[in-house]
């Protein structure tokens, strides 16, 4: 669960220094940098990470695949899916899902809308820029944290999906179909998260609706990440190693690889499999399960040739929920591994000290 981040340089992605030429105002994002800098053969020094944090060769392993077909079918079928989810959650904290029920055409539409947003003129995207890391809709670059850090090769659009009425009117209205597509996509992903959370709850020996009930009204945040080609991909990262603070993240991406997951002190590459989602547990579920399930570190690496897009949707409790181990999972012999904390305070503390997206 513990997150690591590049040591501080004097920069954050949203600050700009007056002695830097305008063309290198990094707050405009890496897409802008790549589009406007002529002959970009090396990365600006602000993006160079210490060697210890640079991406190393990765180990050969694959995250587990869970087939959700007939999750609501026979009792035996459900039990075997719950068993597969439970071992993926305790062993990896990450898994791929297939036969999840979301239409590929909707996934493609969402990817196209997000691509359309990042392809807008800079002035249009900058309408959503904000210095407030908790702002309900935010376009930015590098990491979503107020901590000082070396810059990362990523632009992002981040906004709440649920509760819808709190932020829908603030979502980008360009490209013209963004709101309509994102609304449908996020509603479908919310339903999928709910099904998976029910199965995870049962896998822990809790009632099917235990986790969702613990969410109260719940929260959903989408982070769309845009990683343009990078001239020196081995000297930087798109997204620093971090764990997600929410309950469950459901991620899809275009056909360019770049996600890496920590597994037994190695980094494992998570390749693109068309039509599937990658799912991971966040800190909230590690704490709720009193450490039985893991919220595992992951990061985004970049490449020289192609733009990578990923869309990560986090599902967690309402901001006023208490994050604490489920009392049913504790008996007099088990030690309470985490101190209860208000979810809002947990989020805030993460966002002022480490890389965090949700
Ligand atoms: O780009 C990716 O695959 C990782 C995204 C991610 O971890 C996040 O947005 O929290
Ligand atoms: Fe993440």
Q: What is the DSSP letter of 8?
A: P
Residue 144 DSSP label: S
CB-based neighbours (< 5 A) of ligand 2, an ion: 244
pLDDT of residue 152: 94
pLDDT digits (tens, 9 = 90+) for 149-191: 789 999 999 999 999 999 999 999 999 999 999 999 999 999 9
Binding-site residues, ligand 1, Cβ < 6 A? 223, 225, 239, 244, 251, 253, 259, 298, 300, 310, 312, 357
CA of 153 to the centre of ligand 1 (A): 13
Atom of ligand 1 nearest to the CA of 278: 3
Those residues whose C-beta lies under 8 Å from the C-beta of residue 132, and which sit 6 or more positions away, are: 138
Q: Which ligand has the nearest atom to the CA of 313?
A: 1
Write down the domain spans for the chain. 51-353
CB atoms within 10 A of CB 265: 6
Distance (Å) from CA 103 to ligand 1 centroid: 22
| Predicted confidence (pLDDT) per residue in 191-225, tens digit | 999 999 999 999 999 999 999 999 999 999 999 99
pLDDT of 68: 98
Q: Does domain 51-353 have CATH number 1.10.760.10?
A: no
Q: What is the DSSP letter of 332?
A: T
**Residue 70 has what pLDDT?**
95
pLDDT for 100? 98
Q: What pLDDT score was predicted for residue 147?
A: 63
Find tokens 């055409």 and name the residue: 105
- The ranges of the chain with pLDDT < 70 are 2-24, 145-148, 352-358
Reduced 3-state DSSP string for 44-101: CHHHCCCHHHCCCCCECCCCCEEECCCCCCCHHHHHHHHHHHHHHHHHCCEEEEECCC
pLDDT of residue 58: 83
Ligand 1 atom index nearest CA of 227: 1
Q: How far apart are CA 38 and CA 62, in angstroms?
A: 39
What pTM does this model have?
0.92
Which of 140, 300, 303, 307 to probe ligand 1 with, by most ligand atoms within 8 A of CB?
300
């Amino acid at each position: 669960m513990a997150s690591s981040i590049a040591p501080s340089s004097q920069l954050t992605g949203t600050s700009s220094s007056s002695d830097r030429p305008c063309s290198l105002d990094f707050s405009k994002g890496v897409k802008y940098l790549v589009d406007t800098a002529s002959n970009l053969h090396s990365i600006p020094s602000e993006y160079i990470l210490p060697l210890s944090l640079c991406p190393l060769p990765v180990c050969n392993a694959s995250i587990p695949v869970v087939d959700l077909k007939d999750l609501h079918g026979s009792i035996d079928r459900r039990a075997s899916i719950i068993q597969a989810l439970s071992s993926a959650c305790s062993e990896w904290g990450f898994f791929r899902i297939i036969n999840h029920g979301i239409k590929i055409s909707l996934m493609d539409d969402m990817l196209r809308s997000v691509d359309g947003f990042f392809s807008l003129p800079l002035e249009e995207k900058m309408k959503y820029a904000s210095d407030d890391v908790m702002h309900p809709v935010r376009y930015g670059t590098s990491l979503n944290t107020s901590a000082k850090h070396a810059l990362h090769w990523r632009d992002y659009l981040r906004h709440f999906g649920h509760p819808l009425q709190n932020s829908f009117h603030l979502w980008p209205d360009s490209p013209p179909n963004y709101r309509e597509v994102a609304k449908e996509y996020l509603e479908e992903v919310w339903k999928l998260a709910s099904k998976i959370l029910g199965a995870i709850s049962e896998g822990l020996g809790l009632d099917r609706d235990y986790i969702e009930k613990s969410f109260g009204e719940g929260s959903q945040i989408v982070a769309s990440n845009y990683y343009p080609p990078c001239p020196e991909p081995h000297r930087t990262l798109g997204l620093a190693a971090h764990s997600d603070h929410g309950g469950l993240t459901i991620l899809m991406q275009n056909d360019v690889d770049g996600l890496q997951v920590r597994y037994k002190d190695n980094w494992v590459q998570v390749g693109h499999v068309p039509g599937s989602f990658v799912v991971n547990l966040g800190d909230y579920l590690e704490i709720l399960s009193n450490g039985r399930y893991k919220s595992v570190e992951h990061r985004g690496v970049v490449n020289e040739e192609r733009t990578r897009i990923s869309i990560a949707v986090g599902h967690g409790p309402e901001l006023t929920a208490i994050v604490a181990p489920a009392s049913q999972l504790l008996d007099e012999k088990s030690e309470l591994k985490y101190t209860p904390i208000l979810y809002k305070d947990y989020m805030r503390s993460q966002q002022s000290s480490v890389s965090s997206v949700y």
